[in-house]
Amino acid sequence: MPMVYKRILSIFALAILVVGVFYGSYARVFEKGELDALDLRFRLRPQIARTDKVVIIEIDNDTIKKIGQFPFHRGYHAKLIDALSAVGAKSVVFDMFFSEPRSGDKDLLEAMQAAGNVYLPYVFELDPQARVRTYSSQNLPELTSVAKGAGYINVIPDPDGKFRRVPPRLTYQGQEYLAISLLIAGDYMRIDPKRVKIPLDENGAVIVNFSGKWTDSYQHYSFGDIIQSYEAQFSGKKPVLDLNIFKGKVCLIGYTADGTTDLHPSPFEPLYPSIGIHADIFNSILHKNFITRASRGINLCILVVLSLLIFAASLKMAPLQAFALLVEIEVVFVIVSVVLFNRLGIWIDVFYPLLVTAFLYLVCTLYKSILHFKDRIALESELKIAKQIQESFVPKTLPVVAGFDMAATMITAREVGGDLYDVIKFDEARMGVMIGDVMGKGIPASLFMAMATTSFRFFAKPQIAPQQTLWDLNEKIIRETASNRFVTIYYSIFDFKDRIMLYANGGHLPVIHLAKGKKAVTLDVDEGLPLGMMKGAYSGRQIQFDQGDIFIYYTDGIIEAMNAKREMYGVERLIAFLEMNRDLGAQALREAVVNDVMRFLGKNKQQDDVTLIVIKL
């Protein structure tokens, strides 16, 4: 496939991925995760303002135990209305149905008619979009006719099964109906309930601003205690409650006993009576304290901004730095979302942005790792080629010279190095031996090494003294290179006829000479700076050699090898080792020295190139 088509296909695939990720925010594909994040904010939030105008009257386990039958004779409900009306309760709101005729209906009808402040509920059957299908349950017509008002008590479940939303207004057969909480709030504030302004979500529902756990919310009283206290006024017994506490209160009556069906899971607990939800909406209307969810478009914009930040950081920063920034951004984002929720009641999506930014960081890091891996493979391939090229500048085999036993090795610390050596057999009477070390390591050093080796071979002639060769080479390096690099070179010429070695040194480690039956000495000169550093003089010397003599050429990778104790191998150790093993042949002595250096290093990594030439007569 042509490269242009591959690029178009890659861009197309990336575009689909980006659109899919952002569409996931708009479509709210992780809505359950967002709802869990909302519940966590509810539980972590400080206590919100809670009205004392609402009281909860529970038909709980204690009430059933005291009255002794269930469902109750409706005369008990009539007594409750009479008791609350007598002390001046603002309104009496039933979260239960009187849909079938039963004994006591006449007493209930008379009590409701006399009180004039009783509200009854009804329920619609809704479809998933909260649209009305039909009535599901309502009260006896005669009771509804004397009630001050009637409102529906529908609560809408979210995808996770918890109940957090209530539609305040519904339309059925062209007529508008009101939720009971909106109805009693409007009447309490003496305004038309239809004019009460409530922020709604995109489905026309109000998000319930839960005030806390059921046991901690509002004031709770037992239906049975109120009945008992009311009857005590006529029997002379001591009442359980002072019924005057209900003066001016909105009294919500509902089932909370075990086994009743009017209990739903909430952000705070698995069973929360729906009457508490109506109280919470009433409380929100009174305090104008609502939960408002940010629109899909706003949440999408937030996701785009966060994604761009993480995308840029992941591509430009090192993985650990990018991860630290990711954590910092996500923590700040969570804190901002909590502050907005606590102070302004604004609910922004948290779960999906956190998930996407973490995923984006992983994808970008993986992408960078793949690119780095490809670059590493390409670099290793180039280094292998560079190594092959560098090895071409080093003698593959040493020349055969009668009476000379020679061995050489070069072990680079990296794929390519800066050490160099050469052994040139000029003719049957003379041989040149050179060893050097370029400042630095890696490819730059290897390139400089190649240039120095090539130039050396141009200037090295049998009739030219070593010091003159180094002077000429130094002049060329200074004149033609601007890399601020230099190279140390030790160069010697063996004259087989006169049995002398002429040598010069350009800042390199002096050759070690082991004469037969004598201690080792180092062969150095008076003058000679590293080549490429500056112009200067180079001096030369000569030495007589004889049968059994050994000449050791080496680079600082040997004597500067450092073990785990931070100790260097050193020249003294090298000389002592050579003197102990001077009877070995050149090949064996070379291997023995290298092995001893590697043993000295131990688990430490080789830090510099190791080059060694052994010449034994």
Q: What would the DSSP string read from start to end of 410-463?
A: EE-SSSS-SEEEEEEE-SSSEEEEEEEEESS-HHHHHHHHHHHHHHHHHH--TT
Choose among 599, 610, 430, 616: nearest CA to 512: 616
Distance CA 79, CA 403 (A): 131
Pair of tokens at residue 285 = 């209307």
**SS3 label, residue 426:** coil
Query: Could you give the 3-state DSSP secondary structure of residue 90?
Result: coil
φ/ψ of 500, rounded to 5, equals -125, 150
User: What is the pLDDT at residue 481?
Assistant: 79
Q: How far apart are CA 553 and CA 509, in angstroms?
A: 8
Assign domain 395-616 to its CATH superfamily.
Answer: PPM-type phosphatase domain (3.60.40.10)
How far is 290 from 297, CA to CA, in rounded Å?
20
Q: 220: which DSSP letter? A: E
- Nearest 5°: CA angle at 523, between 522 and 527? 125
Report the alpha-carbon distance of residue 391 to residue 151 in Å, rounded. 94
Alpha-carbon distance of 591 to 612, in angstroms, equals 10
Determine the Cα angle at 481 with ends 476 and 482, to 5°: 145
Q: pTM for this structure?
A: 0.67
Distance between CA atoms of 386 and 384, rounded to whole angstroms? Answer: 5
Q: Are 201 and 207 in contact (CB under 8 A)?
A: yes
Nearest by Cα to 266 from 328, 211, 189, 223? 211
Rounded to an integer, what distance in angstroms lies between the CA atom of residue 170 and that of residue 94? 20
Amino acid at 452: A
Is the backbone peptide bond immediately before 444 cis, with ω within 30 degrees of 0?
Answer: no
Both tokens of residue 529? 């700076």
For residues 363 and 314, give the distance between their C-alpha atoms in angstroms, rounded to a whole number: 9
In the numeric block, which tokens belong to residue 358? 């973490």
Tokens 């305040």, located at residue: 168
One-letter identity of residue 536: G
> How many helices and strands, by DSSP H and E, does the chain display?
17, 26
Q: Hey, what are 122's tokens?
A: 């009804």
364-to-206, 283, 302, 312, 443 alpha-carbon distances in Å: 40, 48, 20, 9, 30
Using the structure block, give the residue that is written with the tokens 């049975």: 224
| Nearest one of 170, 107, 181, 117 to 142, comparing CA atoms | 107
DSSP calls for 156-189: EEPTTS-EEEE-SEEEETTEEEEBHHHHHHHHHH
User: Which residues, 6+ apart, have CB-to-CB distance to 221 below 8 Å?
Assistant: 55, 56, 57, 58, 241
- Please list the ranges in the chain whose pLDDT falls under 50: none
The closest alpha carbon to 164, from 286, 55, 46, 37, belongs to 37
Output the pLDDT for position 602: 87
Q: What are 522's strand-pairing partners? A: 512
| Omega before residue 270 within 30° of 0, cis | no
Among the listed residues 362, 525, 531, 510, the one whose alpha carbon sits nearest the alpha carbon of residue 438: 531
Tell me which residue has tokens 């280094």: 383
Q: Which residues contact 244 (CB under 8 A, 6 or more apart)?
A: 87
pLDDT tens track for 35-63 = 999 999 999 999 999 999 999 999 988 88
3-state helix, strand, coil in the chain (%, to 5): 45, 20, 35
Whole-angstrom distance, CA of residue 490 vs CA of residue 470 = 9
3-class DSSP state of 522: strand
Indicate the helix (H) or strand (E) that contains 52: none
Strands 91-94 and 118-126: parallel
What token pair was written down for 20? 């899919």
Give the helix/strand (H/E) hosting 572.
helix 571-580
Neighbours of 180 (CB within 10 A): 26
Q: How far apart are the first and last CA of the chain?
A: 64
Contacts of 464 (CB under 8 A, 6+ apart): 472
- Among residues 382, 384, 381, 387, the alpha carbon closest in space to that of 609 is found at 387
Cα–Cα–Cα angle for 221, 224, 228, rounded to 5 degrees: 110
Measure the CA–CA gap between 332 and 305, rounded to whole angstroms.
14
Please report, for residues 93, 377, 450, the alpha-carbon distance to residue 417 in angstroms, rounded to integers and kept in the order given. 91, 19, 10
Question: Residue 292, SS3?
Answer: strand
